[in-house]
Structure 1
């Protein structure tokens, strides 16, 4: 019983520093979004810059996740906050 109680109150420490770009990305995510929608919310036109400086670092830090992780290039791919990402936001 105590173990379950402890796990339900568990927090996720952030060991890596969050870049300003990742912080901006976390702040615009309100639900599940596709890549294009996230870029538009951030006012970014360059797809590669978005992927390299915003999306991939947030995924690597486990702050956001893909809805179809086994098909990262799917046209139906959406992104959402993880529990860790929700705590930081």
Structure 2
């Protein structure tokens, strides 16, 4: 693991770790992610899971030019894959 990966690993919360595992090998939308994470409160998902994962660069949007698109999905970045494999 390189230094940048180690730094991100230290910053990844339990919530972000759960999100990474759920996204492993798939592209999923918000509704699917809420269901798989067994969450009902969308703001909690956005602030505790989605935004920190995007900020850490471990997930990315499939439609970055349209962040609020109804067909928006999320997938792991290379860094996200490295973190999931390392768990």
Length-normalised TM-score, structure 2: 0.86
Going from structure 1 to structure 2, the CA distance change for 1:52 and 1:39 (only over 3 Å counts) comes to same
Give the superposed CA RMSD. Answer: 1.5
What corresponds to 2:56 in structure 1?
A: 61
Shift of 1:60: 0.4
Moved over 2 A (4+): none
Task: State how far apart, in whole Å, the 2-side matches of 1:70 and 1:43 are.
Answer: 28
Provide TM-score, normalisation by structure 1: 0.84
- CA separation of 1:15/1:40 partners in 2, compared to 1, >3 Å: closer, same or farther? same
Q: Between Structure 1 and Structure 2, how many residues are aligned?
A: 80
Q: Secondary structure at the match of 1:15?
A: helix
Within 2, Cα distance between the matches of 1:69 and 1:55? 14
State the 1:69 CA deviation.
Answer: 0.4
Structure 1 stretches of 5 or more lacking a match?
Answer: 1-9
* Partner residue in 2 for 1:49: 44
For 1:76 and 1:14, the matched residues in 2 are separated by 33
Which residue, out of 74, 82, 87, partners 1:87?
82
Q: 2:5 aligns with which of 13, 18, 21?
A: 13
Unaligned runs of 5+ in 2: none
What is the CA–CA distance in structure 1 between the aligned matches of 2:23 and 2:5, rounded to whole Å? 20
